[in-house]
Structure 1
Amino acid sequence: MTSLSFTHRYEPALTGGLPPLLLLHGTGGSEEDLLPLGRAISPGSALLSPRGRVLEHGMPRFFRRLAEGVFDEEDVKRRANELADFVAEAREAYGLGELTAIGFSNGANIAAAMLLLRPEAIRSGIFLRAMVPLSEPPAVDLTGKQVLLLSGAVDPIVPPENSRRLAAILREANAEVYAQALPASHGLTPQDVSLSQQWMAKDAQPKPL
C-alpha cells in the first residue's frame, strides 16, 4: 500500500487483545520480509510493515550508512522521525493501539533510534541483531518501555560490546531490558523466534548481557 508516507503492508488483527506489531526489515528487505516472523511471534496481532525509503546499491534500508557499522547519524535522526510520523499516521488510519516494534538488523537499529528519539511511537520492542544507533544518545526517560535485545555471540557485523552498550543505554534511560547473546551469527535462528514468543507472553527471563 502507498496511501500513507511509507510503502507498506497492513494486515488486520485476527484476535482481540494483542498488541499490533511494527515490522522493520533488514538491508535489502521489503515490506513482505518480516510478515511470517510477525505471524510466528504473535499469531493474531495486526501487522504493520513499512519498506525503508533509503536505497543502498538498489537495496532498501531505513537510513544511510557511511560504511559497514558506520552510520550517517544525521540521516538516522531524520529517518527515525519520519518513521515515527508514519507510525502516527498509520495508527490513525487503521485504528491501532500502541505498537510493539520487531526489527531485524537495520530495522532493529532504526527501531532503537526511534525509541530514543520519539519514544511515544512504540510501546515496546524486540530488537534482533541491533547496534547502538547514535554515538551520543539523547537524554530520554523510557520508564515503562520494555525491550527484548537478542544478539549473536559470533555475529561478524555486531560486536558483542556494541550489543552490551545498547542494553546499557536503554537501561540507563529506565527501560526494562531483557538481553541475551545467542549461539548464533547475524542471521535469525529458531531460538530468536521462541524467545520472542515467550517474551511477548511475558514468560522469558533471559540473562543480562
Structure 2
Amino acid sequence: MTLHYQFIDGDRTLAPLLLLHGNGGTERDLLPIGQFIAPDAPRLAIRGREIEQGETRYFRHLPDGTIDFANLDTETTWLLNTAAALTRKYQLFASRMIVAGYSNGGNLAIRAMMTQPLPYRTALLFHGKPLGPLDQPKLRPHTLVWASYGTHDPIVSQAEFATLQAQIQTAGGGLTTFTHDEQHNLNFSELQAAKHWLAQSGRLKEESL
C-alpha cells in the first residue's frame, strides 16, 4: 500500500508539527492550518490508510457503528511507526514534535498519547472526542493540550467533549479549551486562539528534552 505523506521543511530551531486530518481528508488538508499557527515550523502530514464509506480515515468502525478497536490498535501502531520512521528520515526531534489533529486524526493521537509511552507532549485537538473509556490514562510529564469544541457540533456532543477533558486531566495533562458557537467546522477565531496558545506555551522554541 502506498504511503501518502507530505513534509515541508522549515526553521529547524522550531519544533516540528505532526498534522493529522479528519474524516475524508488527505495529507494536504492541515498543511495550511499548520502554516497559519506556526508559519516557519517544519510540517509533517500523514494520510490515514483506511477507507470507510468512501472516506479516508485513520481507523474504521464495525457495521453497527461502534469503533473497531482491533483495527484502531493496528492503525495506531502503523501511524506511530510511520511517524517515527519519517521523523528519523528528516532528522526531526520527536520529543519536540507538536501533534495537531482534526477530528478523526486528533482522536487517535490523544488516545495513543494517553495509553502508550510516546515522546510527544504537546497537542492541539480540533473538535476531538474520546475513543471509548480509559482505565488509567497517563500522559508524559508536563504535557500541554489545547482542545476546541463547537456548541452546535453534530458529531461531538457536549458530554463527549467533557469526557475527553476529564481523561486528559486525569492523565495529568495541562488543558486549555476553546469553544465557539458553530458546528464541526474550524473558524478563524479558533485558529487564532490555537496560534496564540502555541506561541504562549513556549513549545515552539523550547529545546529538546
Normalised by the length of structure 2, the TM-score is 0.88
Aligned residue among 40, 46, 71 for 2:67: 71
In the alignment, which residue of structure 2 is the partner of 1:140? 138
Higher mean alpha-carbon deviation, 84-93 vs 45-54, is at: 84-93
Are 1:62 and 1:107, in contact at CA under 8 Å, matched by a contact in 2?
yes
Moved more, 68-77 or 158-167: 68-77
CA distance in 2, matches of 1:103, 1:178: 15
Pick aligned residue for 2:84 from 84, 88, 113: 88
> 2 CA distance for matches of 1:102 and 1:125?
6
Give the 3-state SS of the residue equivalent to 1:65 in structure 2. Answer: coil
Give the conservation status (yes or no) of the 8 Å contact 2:178–2:190. Answer: no
Which one-letter code corresponds to 1:11 in the other structure?
Answer: I
User: Secondary structure at 1:157's aligned position in 2?
Assistant: coil
Secondary structure of 2:23 counterpart: coil
Cross-structure match for 2:21: 25
1:8 corresponds to: 5
* Structural mapping, 1:193-204, within 5 Å: 193-202=191-200
Partner SS, residue 78 of structure 2: helix
Letter in 1 for 2:97: L
Q: Give 1:206's aligned residue.
A: none
Query: Residue 126 of structure 1 aligns to a residue in which SS?
Result: strand
1:169 is matched with which residue?
Answer: 167
For residues 109 and 144 of structure 1, do their structure 2 counterparts lie closer, same or farther at Cα, with a shift above 3 Å needed?
A: same
- 2:137–2:168 CA contact under 8 A, matched in 1: no
Deviation at 1:141, TM superposition (A): 4.1
SS of the equivalent of 1:71 reads coil
CA distance in 1: counterparts of 2:59 and 2:72, whole angstroms: 5
Alpha-carbon distance change, 191 to 68 in structure 1, aligned in 2, over 3 angstroms: farther
Q: Of 105, 123, 132, which residue of structure 2 is paired with 1:125?
A: 123
In 2: Cα distance, 1:108 partner to 1:70 partner: 18
Measured after TM superposition, the shift of residue 181 of structure 1 is 2.2
2:204 aligns with none
Q: Deviations over 1:20-46 (max 9, x none)?
A: 001111111101111111101100111
Which residue of the partner structure matches residue 181 of structure 1? 179
Task: Report the identity percentage.
Answer: 28
C-alpha spacing 1:121/1:66, structure 2 compared with 1 (3 Å): farther
Q: 1:83 is matched by which residue type in structure 2?
A: L
For 1:99 and 1:68, how far apart are their aligned partners in 2? 36
- CA spacing shift, 1:132–1:58, aligned 2, 3 Å: same
Task: Please tell me whether the aligned partners of residues 109 and 132 of structure 1 are also in contact (alpha carbons under 8 angstroms).
Answer: yes
How far apart, in 2, do the equivalents of 1:68 and 1:151 lie?
26
Work out whether residues 137 and 167 of structure 2, in 8 Å CA contact, stay in contact via their aligned partners in 1: no
Q: How far apart in 1 are the matches of 2:183 and 2:51?
A: 25
Equivalent in 131, 156, 159 of residue 158 of structure 1? 156
Paired residue total? 200
Cα distance in 2 for residues equivalent to 1:147 and 1:47 = 19
Asked if structure 2 preserves the Cα contact closer than 8 Å seen for 1:131 and 1:166, the reply is yes
- Distance, in Å, in 2 between the alignment partners of 1:57 and 1:173 is 33
The answer to whether the Cα contact below 8 Å between 1:80 and 1:117 also exists between their aligned partners in 2 is no
